[in-house]
Structure 1
Amino acid sequence: MATGTIRFGGRFVVQDSDPASVVTPEDFTEEQMMMAQAAEQFLETELAPRDAEVEALNYELTVQLMRKAGELGLLGADVPELYGGIGLDKVSTTLLAETMARASSFALSVGAHTGIGTLPIVFFGTPEQKAKYLPDLASGNRIAAYCLTEPASGSDALGAKSTAKLTEDGKFYVLNGSKLYITNAGFADVFIVYAKVDGERFTAFIVEREMAGFSIGPEEHKMGIKGSSTCPLFFEDVHVPVENVLGVVGKGHLIAFNILNIGRFKLGAACLGSSKETIELASAYANTRKQFGQELSRYPLIGAKLADMNITTFVLESMVYRIAGYIDATLRELEEQEGGGDDYSESSAGAGARAVKAISEYAIECSILKVFASEALDSVIDEGVQIHGGYGYIREYKVERIYRDSRINRIFEGTNEINRMLIPGTLLKKAMKGELPLMEKTQSLLGELMGPMSLPTFSEPLDKETYRVAQAKKTFLAIGGLAVQKLGTKLEREQEVLCVLADLMIQVFAMESALLRSQKMLSREGGARTEDARLALSMTEVFVQEAMEKIESLAKTVLSALERGDGLQMQLSVLKKLMRAPLSDTIALKREIAARVIRSEHYVV
């Protein structure tokens, strides 16, 4: 059964979506494109001429450039108009984050400021806190930082040791402790800091740089993102006014986890921007570099790499804007239900609360995107360096910088391992709360899986891919149901099995995102006759086939852990039926895709 707007995250594993409900880059409005162009112009005119200085970690220049970005509205996209921002929808702010990614370390400084630094106040601040801080944060007059990690607690955020104690007069909380690896620390003015009140109640505070007892340690010497500031922080009896408590005492985890979801989503958009830039660099180099008397781009193996890079980026792009569209749609639904005003500019706390609710609904998808995007960029830039050969290892070429910078993405915003644990874990919690019919769907599949499965006729474009995505969902439900049946409450301790379940969900969401986008392109005027639609169909066809090969391998790994003897053979026979479908000539399809990339020297769709 297809749905229009999907209200609850995670439902993609139990039901299908209407392609018309999915936002894709082909839907961008003129206003959204103009905002992206403004960001591109800023990068070209203001940043590019001084890129080397920024990468050398010039605090003064970075702050100066951030203030110029603020004057153009590039820092206030998520800030309501009432507080000096421009209050854009999530698709627009996502496009902005993607565009800014080309700025390397400067993009990280901006992203940390506008996302995890500013949004806690946008979503959880009191009217007084918003009025005091947001106008300066939107303009760049103040820079924000987010302070969660500690020397003894990284992914285990709630294991923080920093403490806060209320003074006898009830006017201040006295903070003691330290934070580690804080982006923007060297030049930030406003810090979102987490500490445990009385050593127990995890709470968020707004700390200002000038507060007595607050000090900033030396810069860390990093592998990549060298132009961004990363320092430890120290709190020695820092007196923070009680009015600087952000949210509710003891409820800091609600802020921390929701902001992490936003950070994961924004990171996905940034990885997309870097992937596109890598394709430009690699394809242009392949067209100019000659070996054995001809350009590298004329060799099929180089073309295959460029095709793979473009396909991966197409799928990632489809995922990014699908999720952004879902968040916007849910925001509109919540607003209509509550009778609120303009979600992006109203002054009440309702807008922020609705935004948090909409984003938290898609916590699963945010984790999926974070894992897929960070690993996709790593694969794309690895091939980009390979195409450059020895030159890719030299700092004069930007692919070397992107390669170093990309590695942190699998650690940022919760490691990929932690996110893989969260994906199936959150899905099961939603099912237990009755938010999606996971168990019911699994039970209804049993009879179908044990009976004969005849292949349908594949006569129309994307028929086979639609069928295979449906089979992939059945595979996940079958494997997941068997894992729950065999392991019960022990499942949460079987991390290898949970990881495979997460990877199955990631592949399903990625496949379906590409499929929905291609279906939507087919439905437009001209349909499959347009060059872009044909290219999208080819990329979807390749990705779905290769994803199904991964799914089959993943499923066999779990089945071998759960079953033995005849039981295993029976499960493998069911899996074989689920995997059946005619194969496509992916070599020929990739040659066609590569030809488009080589001809255009940039990402194509």
Structure 2
Amino acid sequence: MAQNNPARGGGRFVVDDAEPEHVVTPEDFTEEQRMLADTVRAFVERDLKPRDADIEKLDYGLTVQFMRKAGEIGLLGADVPEAYGGLGLDKTSTTLLAETLAPASSFALSVGAHTGIGTLPIVFFGTPEQKSRWLPKLATGELIAAYCLTEPGSGSDALGARTTAVLTDDGGHYMLNGSKLYITNAGFADVFIVYAKVNGEHFSAFVVERDTPGFSIGPEEHKMGIKGSSTRPLFFEDARIPADHLLGEVGKGHLIAFNILNIGRFKLAAGCLGGMKEAIGLSASYANGRKQFGKPISSFPLIAAKLADMNTRTYVTESMVYRTAGLIDESLSGVDSDLEAGGLNAAKAIAEYALECSINKVFASEAMDDVVDEGVQIHGGCGFIQEYKIERLYRDSRINRIFEGTNEINRLLIPATLLKRALKGELPLIDKARRLQEELLNPAPLSSRESQDPSPTAPSSAILSALKKTFLMVGGLAVNKHGLRLEREQEIVASLADAMIDLYALESALLRTRKLAIQTPSSPNLQHAADMTALFAEQAAERAGTRSRAVLASLEKGESLRLQLSVLKRLLRFEPADGSAPRKRVAAKVIAAESYVGI
């Protein structure tokens, strides 16, 4: 696995250059991790896929039956500490399990809601008594969990919740009143993590059991996709919740909600990764079998180019997802989750990479939308027919940009989190930006594609370096002009977020490719990895130029704008590379394998 990273900490990728040995990649998986993935893969193929149509019809009994089966093979207890009946696996392993389960479609969502946002609040914030009461049964599937945050009047503004909790005079119970909306697993869940404001003011979390008096569940929502998952509203009318079901402290519910959402966002990215791989396999297989004008459509350059770009997006997503898993594992090292305060410490360790969790969520959900959209296009008219699974992947994918905080909200969080860390002195962001301003006064070229480095990743490395400088330049100007009021300039903030997303994505792919070059320089897959990294780097550079010019135009006018644009031109002074040859090479591998081809 990756060596200890001396430059650890969320957001460091903006100001520091990581080294290949400090990242975890799929090539680092242990034999045990691969065996776990094989177990889940066999479960999907043997048990779930033959009953897929029944699950999609929202057969509660069948879903619960398979949830219990998932518990038997350890899938539901992967994140639960061994002391409470789980496996206590590292986050790299649980990420691999989430990815591998993705082809189970709606069932994968039911499992994800249960194991992640449904169970982890108790893992991290429960008392020893609460953990002992619920975790062993949640790990086996005897109990199924749901997470209840959204309300009719509060979604992204979670703290605007109106559900209330009032302690009874004898102090024995809280009386909950209000409602929740769009609750996954609601139709068959036994344990609900519910957020309410104590006395209408103090945002807090409670564990609510299904048979609680005054608690009722509404009808199923009729959804565009993920039809095999249960989604229902909840209602509380003087629901009597035992006082010892309070999770954490009164008024500290936001710590639970936001820390759990970090994991939810990251695990969602892993699920998207699995869906992208499935879409590539379906599309490549169809393209090889579908003939037009006497030839398989996979032989047509435009179809082949689509497959190459789909594979490239997936390679980049895979690189960043497992890099992030490794960073979280590193942050968690030394945290004992079996101690009373261990869960809270673990949540804090994960929160160290909240910024990266949001980046993963945004990038992966949008990359999956692109991949399944192209998959439908490759299928042509068949892609619009329910008989072909690509149609369902297209519908199911759309919710990912809304789940776990909309992508718009996450885009606002990414630069805001970076700036907060900088203002706390946790990142030398301001110093880096100031030194760059001094460098910009030097009339010598700031970047060039020319390099003495003969490695196949040298051009991509040059682009990454230029993109980091571009972000610091444009971001520094934005902060200088707007200060802490920058958060009100949402268009600028979103552009800065997109720049950071591209930085992290490109660096993750580049580090993975460089790691392969160092460890296995004669690998036949090295050219393939370098091709995909280069294709993404070129696209990122093009986006950076367009995005940065727009932001500069909103910040500067006249001669000042012309000066900044000239600096930008120097920073991004790259001649466009011919992407045709690498794209053809990538496509050829995907078409031959009829599946995603990583390294």
Common fold by TM > 0.5:
yes
Does residue 386 (structure 1) correspond to residue 387 (structure 2)? The answer is: no
Does residue 174 (structure 1) correspond to residue 175 (structure 2)? The answer is: yes
Q: How does 1:431-580 map to 2 (within 5 A)?
A: 431-451=422-442, 452-453=444-445, 455=448, 457-461=451-455, 462-525=457-520, 527=521, 529-580=522-573
Does residue 591 (structure 1) correspond to residue 584 (structure 2)? The answer is: yes
Amino acid at match of 1:557: A
1:105–1:226 contact (8 Å) kept in structure 2? yes
SS of the residue 1:391 aligns to: helix
Shift of 1:584: 2.3
Aligned to 1:265: 266
SS of the residue 1:227 aligns to: coil
Q: How does 1:261-410 map to 2 (within 5 A)?
A: 261-332=262-333, 335=334, 343=336, 347-410=338-401
Amino acid at match of 1:76: G
Does residue 110 (structure 1) correspond to residue 111 (structure 2)? The answer is: yes
Instruction: Among all aligned residue pairs of Structure 1 and Structure 2, give the percentage whose two residues are the same amino acid.
Output: 63
1:450–1:574 contact (8 Å) kept in structure 2? no
1:545–1:584 contact (8 Å) kept in structure 2? yes
Moved more, 582-591 or 101-110: 582-591
* Deviations 1:319-368, CA, capped at 9 Å, x for gaps: 00000000001111xx1xxxx6xx4xx53124312321121000110111
Does residue 86 (structure 1) correspond to residue 80 (structure 2)? The answer is: no
Change (3 A) 1:458 1:301: farther
Distance 1:489 1:138 in 2: 44
Shift of 1:5: 4.5
Aligned to 2:241: 240
Amino acid at match of 2:324: I
Distance 2:576 2:491 in 1: 30
SS of the residue 1:531 aligns to: coil
Amino acid at match of 1:603: Y
1:67–1:139 contact (8 Å) kept in structure 2? yes
Does residue 426 (structure 1) correspond to residue 423 (structure 2)? The answer is: no
1:465–1:541 contact (8 Å) kept in structure 2? yes
Shift of 1:447: 1.7
1:162–1:194 contact (8 Å) kept in structure 2? yes
* Deviations 1:449-468, CA, capped at 9 Å, x for gaps: 23222535243221221121
* Deviations 1:5-24, CA, capped at 9 Å, x for gaps: 54310111001111101000
Amino acid at match of 1:437: P
Moved more, 350-359 or 550-559: 350-359
Change (3 A) 1:6 1:60: farther
Between Structure 1 and Structure 2, how many residues are aligned?
A: 592
Distance 2:304 2:148 in 1: 44
Change (3 A) 1:208 1:5: farther
SS of the residue 2:525 aligns to: helix
Distance 1:182 1:248 in 2: 23
After superposition, the CA RMSD in angstroms is 1.2
Aligned to 2:221: 220
User: Normalised by the size of structure 1, how large is the TM-score?
Assistant: 0.97
Distance 1:260 1:317 in 2: 20
1:73–1:86 contact (8 Å) kept in structure 2? yes
Distance 2:27 2:341 in 1: 31
- Ranges in structure 2 where 5+ consecutive residues have no aligned partner: none
Q: Which 4+ stretches in 1 moved above 6 angstroms? A: none
Shift of 1:28: 0.3
Distance 1:530 1:191 in 2: 49
1:3–1:16 contact (8 Å) kept in structure 2? no
1:3–1:18 contact (8 Å) kept in structure 2? no
* Deviations 1:20-39, CA, capped at 9 Å, x for gaps: 01000000000000000000
SS of the residue 2:576 aligns to: coil
Distance 2:484 2:106 in 1: 44
Distance 2:331 2:257 in 1: 21
Distance 1:146 1:33 in 2: 30
Does residue 413 (structure 1) correspond to residue 404 (structure 2)? The answer is: yes
Distance 1:182 1:46 in 2: 26
Distance 2:94 2:80 in 1: 10
Shift of 1:265: 0.2
* Deviations 1:65-117, CA, capped at 9 Å, x for gaps: 00011001011000011111111000000000000111000000000000000
SS of the residue 1:239 aligns to: strand
Q: How does 1:137-176 map to 2 (within 5 A)?
A: 137-176=138-177
